[in-house]
Structure 1
Amino acid sequence: MDLFTGFIHTDGRLLRDENDREYLLKGMAFGNNVWDNPSLPPYDTHHTRDSYRELAEMGFNSVRFYLNYGLFEDDANPYKYKETGFEWIDRNVEWAKENGMRIVLNMHYPQGGYQSQGGGTALWSDKENQNRLVALWKAIAERYCNEPCIVGYGLLNEPVIPADDVWAGSRKWAELLNRMIRAVREADRNHIIFIEKILTFQNEETFELEWSRSNDEHNFALSDDNYNAVYEFHFYNPYTFTHQGLSWSNTSEFNKVYPNEEDIFADGVSWHAGTFNGEQCDLESRDWQYIESDRVTVTDDDQILSYVFQAREIGENGAVYVDDIAITEFDSEGNRTRVVYASNFDKTCSMYFWASNNIGNGKFVSTKGRKRGGSYLVSGTTDDASGSVGFFRPVKNYSYQASGYFRIRSSSGEATIRPRVDIWKAESISFLNKDFLEKNIKAYAEFSEKYNVPVYCGEFGTGTVSFTDDKGGDRWVADVIDIFNKYRISYNYHTYHEESFGLYMNSSLEPAANRNELLYEVLCRKNK
């Protein structure tokens, strides 16, 4: 039964349906095993006809449908499109129509490689990959230009742009983006085009992802043509909560709870003071040494703490391990009150390495722990350098002390190796709660208002670990959907069937099983 007589279209900041009523996309992602680089569709393993019925009953009205270019063409035979890929979309369109659902087609894995983790550099270095992507989108648009069940086309998922200059990188994305838009519009002016923000920038020499870099538009690249265009962002804030306990994301050590007024995030941070008069490591010893800093007192409400492992001038061939670190709190009378932070690096670590002259490095070492597990290694520093963890919420007029075990593999005679507590001043401090989530999402609503365009959260979600032991995954999902509804932002939950994030938590190579009942309940309640 075909319920759709027309297309979803944009109207300023809003979406409207064929009857000109406001339309809010409430979607769930079908991943389709795209990360396995399939050459054939997953057919009846990832999802079935009944999956659309289930989602409709949960209150969803759409599916964000992930595509891998390999479903349509082979690298050895480019521009020769396989009918099996189009037939797979046709089958899903039929299933969606039967249940009053619509589909957003999303190119999740393009020619040149999967973008999100920085492995897709060939899309940018080889223009032929871009040519093939443009041509494929034109072929898709030609095939589905008159199909109203399809909401539109997500041209490229989470682009990672190689650029030494941020604005040059933005232009690289804008150039490819506008090529794809022109190709689609030659065949199809009925459907929405979803324009994703740049996920991050990638150093062209080291291939490291530079997450701290951003242009002035939340990493959006504005299109030359905003006709029927929606600007798309993804939301997994904070990463330490939504990705906790996942080995592939280096977050195995994290154990976060939502909400948590002790888990803080700071803006406009500047260094204020540190503990520079405590013990230092004996540079001659090669055994594990227990070292304590002196104590530092917090005097203002706008101050926050970080743990610092200082490894200054250990030398080009120097290397130092740290393990079993802690920050301990003492009240105004000097009594020990609590351990603010501690880590034994058994599985991973979240330390950030800094060097004043950019020489040296820091990394987690999984087999060099003091008793078991791992440790954090700093090596090759020739000026001031450190590994740090933060930020932590202190109590005014209380004092704090850092400690840890250190083992010197080698060092120069000029080295300074010790733990520190550093105090920072912050222009604003947020806590892990609904206000923090809203502050982050509101920025996209403001972008929408500034340019009078709709915005869409094409992915939001939190990992399966966050739903265990009352960590609050269900509370996080409920609050995020409330905020989307408040700002009239369309959304799509990631994902339906996947071990790390899925509503169904078993392997997506097998029929769906092991439903996340907490997630199911909160999605049903909030969608309806």
Structure 2
Amino acid sequence: MVNKPIPIPPAPAPAPTGILKLKGEEIIDKDGNPIILKGAAVGGWMNMENFITGYPGHETGMREALLEVLGQEKYDFFFARLLEYFFDDKDAAFFASLGLNCLRVPFNYRHFEDDMNPGVFKERGFQWLDRIINICGKHGIYTILDLHAAPGGQSTGWHCDSGLTRALFWEHIEFQNRTIKLWEALAERYKDNTWVAGYNPLNEPADSKKAQRLLAWYDRVNAAILKIDPHHIQFYDGNTYAADFSDFMGRPPMPNSVYAIHDYAGYGFPASPELYTASSAQKSVLEKTFQRKIAYNEEIKGHIWNGEFGPVYAREWADGPKWEEINKARYMVLRDQLSIYDAKKISWSIWLYKDIGFQGMVYAAPDSPYVKKLQPFIEKKKVLAADAWGVDLSDVKDTFQPMEHWLVQNGPAIKKRYPPTWNPARHLGRPVRNILLAECLYPEYAEYFKGLSEDELEAFAASFKFENCVQREGLNAVLREHAAIQH
């Protein structure tokens, strides 16, 4: 099964705009017309994440558990089908129908090389990218290629698929060199592709040494890509999860580079102490947070790309009788953020396109075979706060508050531990719930797949087909409204 050809549609006609270019504060086409990129990320596809598809922990651990219960043949069958169905022609047609013109494509380096055989690239990883680029191009959608999980992990987040509390990418030159070689291969493959808007070399880096190692690596990868592909735009995230550019200030911009912020608003998450009502004070918080993040962009007078933002949404089964009221408030958060972006004429990519009903523009239906079967496990993960993203800690508060108090008392330096935006509760939850507990849940998750036939696995994967998904109408209405705004 692993050798079954990937269904790659024919390459579309070249984009009429040519390869997009950077000119001062604008992205322009071949005729000099400005273009603002507006869209979403297809997270959970070539870089799977626990809250997006319902598994615990990290993608590699989940895959190892499923391989053990399914065996190689069924394992290959399931994941090939899932990758095929997660984003297809109908998804692209819907995406374009909203007026969106750019899809960010996060991927995991493991699709391209193995840790035990580094530097030997696997063609299938490139073919999956070929597939989505061609599908999007057919519908007039650009793509931005985003390395979401790098060797060693560029942060300690679950989305790096490292399962560690140290970002080893910054401590081992081999990891950094391997990542540059991967980008050289990607640049060689896509240097003439007009539907690729550009390259996002490293998602949400977290360098605890005041971005010294990050900036040095950025200089290296930028030069390596330019040597092969001097035309495509490169999109570079700020330090500490794309939120901090303080150590970039005073440095000239790298050639052909846009600097990318991530602008999640606290009002869009369960931990927010208040419901968003669009008060002047709340709007001021959104504006001040955004302004702080774009200070470097304004210093260099460069184009701004907000590579990630967006609330999570309440669910009827999980969040009580006020779930609809909560979601209306979160749509207001989103609308007010987009109004700020409109005024600044920035490009943006919301997180995210598809999932199982937490944040996506579309999501696998609650009565689909996969979600219906996994629902007890998904509910258990929520109660245990096993995932980090959009977590509600109310059910574990009594267990973890004494541990947090003990930790602060005996190791007060935790209050200054990097990253500074994390409080002690988050530093505690990462290794205990999001890693240790989550890893202990792998066997339980895998049991849901045990003994399934290929037909049943097909039904699981097909739960993510566009025609089997539900559209989040409130979210999509807001996106359609702001995609249509002309600048």
Task: Establish whether TM, by shorter chain, passes 0.5.
Answer: yes
Amino acid corresponding to residue 45 of structure 1 in structure 2: Y
Deviations 1:129-159 (A, max 9, x none): 1111011011100111111100111010000
Other structure's SS at 1:43 match: helix
Residue 200 of structure 1 and its aligned partner are, at CA, apart by 5.7
**1:325 maps to which residue?**
none
In structure 2, which of residues 165, 168, 189 is the aligned counterpart of residue 143 of structure 1? 189
- Specify every segment of 5 or more residues in structure 2 that has no aligned partner in the other structure, as ranges: 1-11, 50-58, 64-75, 159-163, 316-321, 365-370, 372-459
**1:178 maps to which residue?**
219
In structure 2, which of residues 13, 20, 43 is the aligned counterpart of residue 2 of structure 1? 13
How far apart, CA to CA, are the structure 2 residues paired with 1:171 and 1:109?
Answer: 20
Question: Are the structure 2 counterparts of residues 200 and 71 from structure 1 closer, same or farther at C-alpha, using a change threshold of 3 Å?
Answer: closer
Deviations 1:68-106 (A, max 9, x none): 001101111111111111111111111111101100000
**2:281 maps to which residue?**
431
Q: Which structure carries more helix by proportion?
A: 2
Q: Could you say which structure has the greater relative contact order, defined with CA pairs below 8 angstroms and 6 or more residues apart?
A: 2
**1:504 maps to which residue?**
362
Amino acid corresponding to residue 517 of structure 1 in structure 2: E
Amino acid corresponding to residue 304 of structure 2 in structure 1: V
**2:348 maps to which residue?**
491
**1:89 maps to which residue?**
129
**2:483 maps to which residue?**
527
User: Is residue 106 of structure 1 aligned with residue 141 of structure 2?
Assistant: no
How far apart, CA to CA, are the structure 1 residues paired with 2:187 and 2:120?
Answer: 16
Residue 222 of structure 1 and its aligned partner are, at CA, apart by 7.4
How far apart, CA to CA, are the structure 1 residues paired with 2:278 and 2:193?
Answer: 46
**1:450 maps to which residue?**
299
Deviations 1:469-516 (A, max 9, x none): 322111111111111110011100100012432112336964152322
**1:158 maps to which residue?**
204
Structure 2 contact 109–149 (Cα < 8 Å) conserved: yes
Amino acid corresponding to residue 479 of structure 2 in structure 1: L
Other structure's SS at 2:258 match: strand
RMSD: 2.6
Residue 219 of structure 1 and its aligned partner are, at CA, apart by 5.1
How far apart, CA to CA, are the structure 2 residues paired with 1:485 and 1:44?
Answer: 34
Other structure's SS at 2:181 match: helix
**2:269 maps to which residue?**
243
Deviations 1:332-379 (A, max 9, x none): xxxxxxxxxxxxxxxxxxxxxxxxxxxxxxxxxxxxxxxxxxxxxxxx
**2:255 maps to which residue?**
227
How far apart, CA to CA, are the structure 2 residues paired with 1:64 and 1:133?
Answer: 19
* 1:347-426 pair list within 5 angstroms: none
Deviations 1:131-189 (A, max 9, x none): 110110111001111111001110100001133xx3xxx11101111111111111101
How far apart, CA to CA, are the structure 2 residues paired with 1:227 and 1:114?
Answer: 23
**1:267 maps to which residue?**
none
How far apart, CA to CA, are the structure 1 residues paired with 2:259 and 2:106?
Answer: 18
Identical columns (%): 25
In structure 2, which of residues 470, 477, 484 is the aligned counterpart of residue 514 of structure 1? 470
Larger radius of gyration: 1
The aligned length equals 331
Structure-1-length-normalised TM-score? 0.58
Other structure's SS at 1:484 match: helix
Structure 2 contact 155–167 (Cα < 8 Å) conserved: yes
Residue 446 of structure 1 and its aligned partner are, at CA, apart by 4.4
Residue 113 of structure 1 and its aligned partner are, at CA, apart by 2.4
Question: Are the structure 2 counterparts of residues 176 and 98 from structure 1 closer, same or farther at C-alpha, using a change threshold of 3 Å?
Answer: same
Question: Are the structure 2 counterparts of residues 220 and 233 from structure 1 closer, same or farther at C-alpha, using a change threshold of 3 Å?
Answer: farther
* 1:30-109 pair list within 5 angstroms: 30-31=42-43, 32=45, 34=47, 35=49, 36-37=59-60, 42-109=82-149
**2:275 maps to which residue?**
257
Structure 2 contact 20–233 (Cα < 8 Å) conserved: yes
Residue 115 of structure 1 and its aligned partner are, at CA, apart by 2.3
Other structure's SS at 1:431 match: helix
How far apart, CA to CA, are the structure 1 residues paired with 2:154 and 2:86?
Answer: 20
Q: Which structure carries more strand by proportion?
A: 1
